[in-house]
Amino acid sequence: MVSEFSLIDRFFKRQTVNKSVTQGIGDDCALLKIPQGYELAITTDTMVENVHFFAGSDPYHLGHKLLGVNLSDLASMGAKPLAVTLALTVPKIDENWLQAFADGFFALAERYSVDLIGGDTTSGPLTLTVTALGLVPSGQALRRSTAQPGDIICVTGHLGDAGLGLKINQGYDCKQPDPALKRFNQPDPQVEAGQALIGTANACIDISDGLVGDLGHILQQSQVGACLDWEALPLSTEVLTYIENTGDWAMPLIAGDDYELCFTVSPDKVQNLTITHTKIGVIESEPGLRLNKSGNIQPLEVKSFEHFS
């Protein structure tokens, strides 16, 4: 029998690297000292087997993705990741699974100097929850509610690659499947980009639930509308081929799991952007989301990936 305590010690207890962490794993609570001039950003995301990932998914990928989706939420506020707690519910003690999961988790954690400071390990159906904590300069967090008419809408990276990865998993035959599968299995959060947008972007969100749905949150909370330019969307060759083969042109607009950032910048600040980005549209005062496809402007329904549908 491996007890809860030796399980934590064996797989999840590492030396902490942030001096803000004054107590890590090992007491009833962890303790953090928050430096002056910063707010703490907090986010929680859960992944459930057979809902968010397939049964039998590679545990290394799961460890990476679970942390990645949480760091992506920190990135979308411009926060620097600091520490996380992990609530791990597993059906049984499978040491190989746990080791691979921990390896994937810590490979990403170490890249961003994130400390695992606590959590809970329980038995039950495979369910993974992380709460991530980050630091953001006081009063400067990037919000959803602060887009302005006239702002340029930008995204980091490409759209629809993770969605294509899902289609490949579901049987779509792609000539070059690896890049899309990697994006689906091991998304890289835009941690540096988020921090670099502070002071320049007016609004920001991560597009984990798809561009149309997540941009929709910015529009709703900022009480504005937008028009996207189809020709400007950053699409990979594989996604373009997918659209050609299937006619499913909406996929890169609505598919989730692209952990890229969508942000808005006022036109006079666009030249201040220091990160790689693509301009894909404009914020307008008229509510609703529209798509300009070869000069033909059509409304886009705000749909996002919804559970319980």
Residues in contact with its own copies by the rule CB under 8 A: 1-4, 7, 22-23, 26-34, 36, 39-52, 73-74, 76-77, 79, 83, 85-87, 89, 92-93, 117-125, 127, 129, 131, 133-134, 136, 138, 141, 143-145, 205-206, 221, 306-309
Nearest distance in Å: CB 177, its own copies: 28
Q: What kind and span of H or E run contains 230?
A: none
- Closer of 34 and 297 to its own copies (Cβ): 34
Nearest distance in Å: CB 191, its own copies: 13
- Closer of 143 and 182 to its own copies (Cβ): 143
- What is the four-CA torsion angle of 215, 216, 221, 224, rounded to 10 degrees? 90
- Closer of 124 and 295 to its own copies (Cβ): 124
Nearest distance in Å: CB 241, its own copies: 32
- Closer of 22 and 223 to its own copies (Cβ): 22
Nearest distance in Å: CB 129, its own copies: 4
Q: Quote the CA–CA distance of 162 and 182 in Å, as a whole number.
A: 8
Q: Quote the CA–CA distance of 29 and 178 in Å, as a whole number.
A: 41
Nearest distance in Å: CB 92, its own copies: 8
Q: Quote the CA–CA distance of 283 and 90 in Å, as a whole number.
A: 45
Angle between helices 177-185 and 237-246 (to 10 degrees): 100
Decide: helix, strand or coil at residue 227.
Answer: strand
Is residue 199 within 8 A of residue 290, CB to CB? The reply is: no
Q: Quote the CA–CA distance of 279 and 229 in Å, as a whole number.
A: 9
- Closer of 35 and 267 to its own copies (Cβ): 35
Q: Quote the CA–CA distance of 63 and 66 in Å, as a whole number.
A: 5
